[in-house]
Amino acid sequence: MTRRKAFVVGSAALGGLAGAAVVLPVVGFAIAPVLTRGEERWEAVGTEDDFDRETYRTVVFTETPGIGEAGKTTAYVRRGSAEIEGEDPNGYVAISTRCAHLGCPVRFVQAAGNFICPCHGGVYDFIGERIGGPPVRPLDRFQTRIRNGFVELGPRYSVTNQLKPVRPRDPGEFTGGIWEYLYPPRPTVFPPPN
């Protein structure tokens, strides 16, 4: 190696080092939210007497703090029913209004007993299973618990077509089977309940 070439390589290395010293922290700064998980939030949405088994009650609670109205979301809550397979009669079911197609807000239509999405016509039955339209999985749910007589809602989780809890997905993503690998786990979300 000639003296000239040594200087070329040396100054390129120094320049690269100086560039990396700036770029790497900035890139880390920008992608940090992809790797970190926020604080687990639970919010009381009513007393135990507020909910019954036959129909849903609409509750509004804050899913993402700090952004006012935009951080609020709507859930449909009812008591668990012994007549529905796999449900705990002492527990609660909280169904997210976020459509599993592209995330529009669904509405529970009492007369039909179905959840219907206004955007592209997705339809779900009483327990949130897809019965029509473009959605790719049942409606998401929220974890529930009882504290001091109040029903509290916690982190979101998704379910498979057999209503088995899995980690939460964005709308449009399938659950179960090979899709658990094609949509790999994200560090930002909470694990599903058992």
Distance CA 171, CA 120 (A): 13
The DSSP call for residue 71 is: G
CB of 49: closest distance to another protein in angstroms? 31
Binding mask 15-34 for another protein (x = CB under 8 A): ---------------xx-xx
Q: In the β-sheet with 123-124, what is the strand arrangement from edge to edge?
A: 107-109, 114-116, 123-124, 130-132
Instruction: Say which residue the tokens 């999985």 belong to.
Output: 137
> Applying CB under 8 A, which part among 54-62, 65-73, 108-116, 123-131 lies near another protein?
65-73
Largest CA distance in the chain: 86
Which pair of tokens denotes residue 32?
Answer: 């940090």
Residue closer to another protein (CB basis): 80 or 165: 165
Q: Does 171 bind another protein (CB under 8 A)?
A: yes
Q: Does 180 bind another protein (CB under 8 A)?
A: no
Query: Quick one: which H or E segment has residue 75?
Result: strand 72-79
Q: Which of residues 122-151 bind another protein (CB under 8 A)?
A: none
CB of 183: closest distance to another protein in angstroms? 6
Q: Does 68 bind another protein (CB under 8 A)?
A: yes
- State the burial class of residue 46 (Cβ atoms within 10 Å of its Cβ: 0-12, 13-18, 19+): middle
Sign of torsion over alpha carbons 170, 172, 176, 177: negative
Which pair of tokens denotes residue 178?
Answer: 């090979």
Q: Does 64 bind another protein (CB under 8 A)?
A: yes
Residue closer to another protein (CB basis): 138 or 168: 168
Binding-site size for another protein (CB under 8 A) equals 28
Q: Does 168 bind another protein (CB under 8 A)?
A: yes
CB of 170: closest distance to another protein in angstroms? 4
Residues binding another protein (CB under 8 A): 30-31, 33-34, 37-38, 63-64, 66-68, 70-71, 102-104, 168-173, 182-184, 186, 188-189
